[in-house]
Amino acid sequence: MKKRSDQATVDDLIGLGNQSARKSYYAELVTKLEELETERNRYKWLFENALHGIFQADFSGGLRAANPAIAKICGYDSAEEILDQIQHIDDQLFVSVRDYEFVTSYLKASGQVFGFETQLRRKDGKTVNVSLNVLLKQDGDTPVIEAFVQDITERKKAQDNLKQLNEELEGRVEERTHELVSLNDKLWREIAERESAQKELKVAKEIAEQANTSKDKYLAAASHDLLQPMNAARLLVSTLRERELAGEDGHLVERVHMALDNAEELLTDLLDISKLDQNAVKPDLGEYSIQALLSPLVSEFQTVAQDSGLVLAFVPSNLVVTTDPRLLIRILRNFLSNAIRYTNEGRVLIGCRRSGDRVQIQVWDTGIGIPDDRLNDVFKEFHQLHQKKAKRAGVGLGLAIVDRIARMLEHPVKVRSVVGAGSVFSIDVPLSTNQSRQVQVSSQMAVPMDQLDQTRVLVIDNEENILVSMAALLGQWGCEVMTATDELDALQQIERTGIVPEVMMADYHLDDDKTGTDAIGYVRDMLGIEIPAMVITADRSDECRQLFRELGLPVLNKPVKPGKLRALLTHLLQA
């Protein structure tokens, strides 16, 4: 019989000893059992609900377990059915016994196989392509094969289709390559023909450009000869207009004056268009007072408006803008000219309206107006909307030039109009950052003729007709006129008469490559007096304009407008 002490020792070891021991280990044992049961249930759930097929088998090929997913992959209705019908996986599940042998051999060597592709046999006798991940596990002392199966049938089909497509593509590439070789040969022939055509086109283009350049050069060169007789005629007609003529003579003179105006406008516009087409006009930007820019312009058009029975009003402004004054005045002169031309009665107003960092210079009129659907047409070349209704016909180039100059200056031009009520033409000009500049301008617009009475004026020009015409006009204004063909002739006139001129005006281009600027400088040097002077020229080039600015000489372009000439003479004398 065993001793009591020995019995107690064994019971104590398994937790079944005395009552005190059982109380100490029982709760912990229950907890461990519950954890094991939970883990077993979780594994069972994962096994049964896995998306991949899972099966277990022993090395002899006997199928020990299978989940629903593997049954579905192999075409069975349930896991129980696949377990019931497949006894050995080596020849009943695997299509290739050699694949099964490879897997088992590899497992024994490394314990795992990943991404092994093979075929399994379905219930209906067909095969399914699968990828296997296989692990070697121990169930006690027995090694067990546990395989995770993924159906790759669709991937295999895609691979087969891709292979077929590649073969078809290779065939098409070969066929297409043959076609491309043929097309390439044809393309080279076409390229050769095109290069030949381009060479011919280039030659034709160069000929056309040379012809266009020659035309522009001819027009520029001929402008001086064209403007010289026109200038003389303008001066003579202006002289006659200021006289009281009997009967129909005054009417005839006025008709001649209007014809000269039209001819002058056409020639000036053609010259401007030619220069713009050659990109020969470059903006010369600076800061200028609006008052200083607009006052002489208003003074110039005041008499024109009065002769047309209109009131020309000007709203002064002390703003300073950044612009090219010559080009801006060219635009505004066209606005004013059109406003007077197409206004039968009422008034024309020029003023400014500030908006942010820009100012809008506006020209209002009470004229015949423009239909809404024709507003853009007025900026087309040789396009006139109301030629029959105008007081005098234009040539249809003015606003086309305005549009080109405005785009070059980046000063937007706008127009709005009401038929029968008038129009508003405006241009947006950027304001200068320096608005402190203030310019005092005389409020007197028209220049009284008696201010020039007995003023001694020296006129230098190589054209006899110009000298006669200028002498007639200035003489009618009460001036004492001396005329000369160059600086030496001028000095001889001064020495012979003993009269020193109070003001000089000289044509820029004289005979024998002499210039009016040199003649002015020579007379000043010989007399030792800085006599006020101006240059009169038909040359509108930027080089000449820059030269006159450097010399501080004001300039009048031919044909000379009598109003501008009288205003400039008065300004020089006052200065």
Quote the pLDDT of residue 35: 74
Per-residue model confidence (pLDDT) at position 300 = 77
- Domains contained in the chain, CATH given: 50-151 (3.30.450.20), 282-430 (3.30.565.10), 449-574 (3.40.50.2300)
- Between 477 and 281, the more confident residue is 477
pLDDT tier at 252, thresholds 50, 70, 90: confident
Q: How large is the angle between the packed helices 398-409 and 249-277, nearest 10 degrees?
A: 40
What does the pLDDT read at residue 566? 87
How many Å apart are CA 36 and CA 376, to the nearest integer? Answer: 92
Question: What is the distance between the alpha carbons of residues 241 and 561, in angstroms, rounded to a whole number?
Answer: 13
Of 114-128, 272-286, 527-541, the one with minimum mean pLDDT is: 272-286
* The pLDDT of residue 2: 43
1 or 27, which is more confident? 27
Cα→Cα distances 14→7, 192, 241, 332, 385, Å:
11, 104, 144, 118, 121
Give the pLDDT confidence score for residue 201 in this predicted structure: 87
The DSSP code sequence of 80-116 is HHHHHH-SBHHHHTBS-HHHHHHHHHHHHHHSEEEEE
| Section 545-565 average pLDDT | 86
- CA 411 to CA 420: how far, in whole Å? 28
When pLDDT is averaged across residues 178-188 and rounded to a whole number, the result is: 89
Looking at per-residue pLDDT, the higher value among 547 and 256 belongs to 547
Q: Report pLDDT digits (tens) over 267-312.
A: 666 666 666 666 666 777 888 899 988 888 888 788 888 888 899 9
Mean pLDDT of 161-177: 88
- pLDDT for residue 487: 92
Beta strands 286-289 and 63-66, pairing class = unpaired
pLDDT in tens, 208-218: 777 666 665 66
Is pLDDT above 50 for 3? no
Q: Does pLDDT of 245 surpass 60?
A: yes
Q: What is the mean pLDDT of the chain?
A: 81
Sort residue 555 into left (φ over 0), alpha (ψ -120 to 50) or beta.
beta
Asked which of 103-107, 218-222, 409-413, 506-510 is least confident by mean pLDDT, the reply is 218-222
Mean pLDDT of the region 435-445: 46
Residue 434 has pLDDT above 80, yes or no: no
Q: Specify the pLDDT at position 224.
A: 58
Residue 243 is predicted with a pLDDT of 74
The distance of Cα 471 from the centroid of its chain, to the nearest Å, equals: 54
The pLDDT, as a whole number, for residue 318 is 87
Residue 19 above 90 pLDDT? no
- CA–CA separation, 145 and 397 (whole Å): 99
Confidence of residue 375 (pLDDT cuts 50, 70, 90): confident
Q: Tens digit of pLDDT for each residue in 309-361?
A: 899 999 988 899 999 888 898 889 888 988 898 898 999 999 999 988 899 99
* Percentage of the chain lying above the pLDDT 90 cut: 22
Residue listed under structure tokens 């031309």: 341
> pLDDT tens for residues 451-469?
788 899 999 998 888 898 8
Give the lowest-confidence range in 19-23, 83-87, 197-201, 222-226: 19-23
| pLDDT reported for residue 460 | 94
- Residue 354: name the closest of 388, 381, 317 by CA: 317
Instruction: Report the half-sphere exposure of 43 (CA within 13 A, side-chain side).
Output: 6
pLDDT at residue number 442: 38
> Where are the alpha helices (H) located in 392-497, listed in sequence order?
398-409, 464-476, 487-497
Q: Which is more confidently placed, 48 or 129?
A: 129
| Non-local CB neighbours of 570 within 8 Å, separated by 6+ positions | 447, 451, 452
Q: Which residues are registered as beta bridge partners of 364?
A: 349, 424
Mean pLDDT within 362-390: 73
Among candidate residues 18, 91, 33, 14, the one with its CA nearest the CA of residue 57: 91
The H or E element that residue 130 is part of is: strand 127-139
The first and second tokens of residue 4, run together, are 């009591």
Between vectors from CA 11 to CA 7 and to CA 16, what angle results, nearest 5°? 140
Query: In the predicted model, what is the mean pLDDT of residues 185-199?
Result: 89
What does the block give as tokens for 158?
């895609």
| Cβ atoms within 10 Å, residue 76 | 21
The mean pLDDT of 355-376, rounded to a whole number, is 88
This prediction has a pTM of 0.46
Band (79; pLDDT cuts 50, 70, 90):
confident
